[in-house]
Amino acid sequence: MAILVPQPNRSLADQAYVPAIAKGLGQTMRKFFKNTLSSKKDIVTLRYPEETVEYPERFRGVHRLTQRADGSPRCVACLCCSTACPAQCIHIEAGEYEQGDPRHGYERFPKVFVIDELRCIFCGYCVEACPCDAIRMDTGMHMPPSTDRSHFIYDRETLLSIPGRDGTHESANPRHEPGDPSHPGIDRDRH
């Protein structure tokens, strides 16, 4: 059975195509002269990598481990970040402070802290989970590219060496260490 296909209702100008081509080329030429000759340029292309865009303040960049005043990691190896991590890319091995250290028997530190940045999905859950403000993604950097997979396995020293956007290794949240004058003390006779 034959099917009646409705004919498209085109005007003569549509069927000739030439006016549409002229219109499109006109738009192109208007942008061309505006961005080359006029002073009101609206060009957005950057000469990357010589020029870069400043990422927004809440951009989740590559991780860093914050440091205490003495340069040791703030991390206490509680494993909250690796628990929260949906990509399971954080590996931590906890160690205990030496006998005689004021933190001995009180808290742990990460002997090994490895993030597999290739597995990481940059969701920021680790930062959210961290109760010590020890892991942050405020570096403002994305991961530097490489052709070698092993370059994306960030170990403890690498993570500690990455500064925040302000260039420092500490965080704005203060920390009271046991033994500090600022620490309220662990001896009940002082109170």
Partner 1 sequence: MATITIDGKEVPFEQGDTIIRAAHRQGMEIPHYCWHPGLSVAANCRMCLVEIRSGRQMNMPILKWDSGKSSFVPDTKPKLQPACQMAATEGMEVVTKSDHVKEAQASVQEFLLLNHPVDCPICDQAGECRLQDYWLEHQTTLKRKQSEPVHKPKAVRFGPTIVYDAERCIMCTRCIRVCDELAGDHVLDMRQRGNKNEIFVAPGRELDHNYTLMTEHVCPVGALTSKDFRFKARVWFLKTKDSVCSGCATGCNSHVDYDPRYNQVQRLRPRDNEQVNKHWMCDKGMVSYHEVHEGRVLMPLSSGQVGERTETSWANAESAVLKTLKGANGDRVAVVLSALHSTEDNWGLAQLAQALGAKHYLAARPDWKGDNVLMHNDHNPNRRGAQHVANTVLGGESQNVATLVRALQAGEIDTVVSLGPTTEGEAELAQYLTQHPGKATLIALTANQGPLSDAAQHVIPVASWAEAPGSYINAQGLSQNYQAAIPAQGQILPTWLRCMNWHEAIKGGRPAATLADVRNALGTLGTAPPVSPEPQAQAGGL
Q: Helix (H, G, I), strand (E, B), or coil: what is residue 159?
A: helix
CB of 76 to partner 1, least distance (A): 5
Q: Which residue from 84, 94, 127, 153 is in contact with partner 1, where contact means CB under 8 A?
A: 94
CB of 113 to partner 1, least distance (A): 14
- Sign of the Cα torsion 162, 165, 166, 171 reads negative
Binding string, residues 149-188; x marks residues near partner 1 by CB under 8 A: -----------------------------x-----xxxxx
The candidate with the shortest Cα–Cα distance to 168, out of 139, 142, 191, is 139
Q: Helix (H, G, I), strand (E, B), or coil: what is residue 81?
A: helix
CB of 83 to partner 1, least distance (A): 7
Q: Give CA angle at 82 (76, 88), nearest 5°.
A: 155
**Residue ranges binding partner 1 (CB under 8 A):** 76, 78-80, 83, 94, 96, 104-108, 131-132, 178, 184-188, 190-191
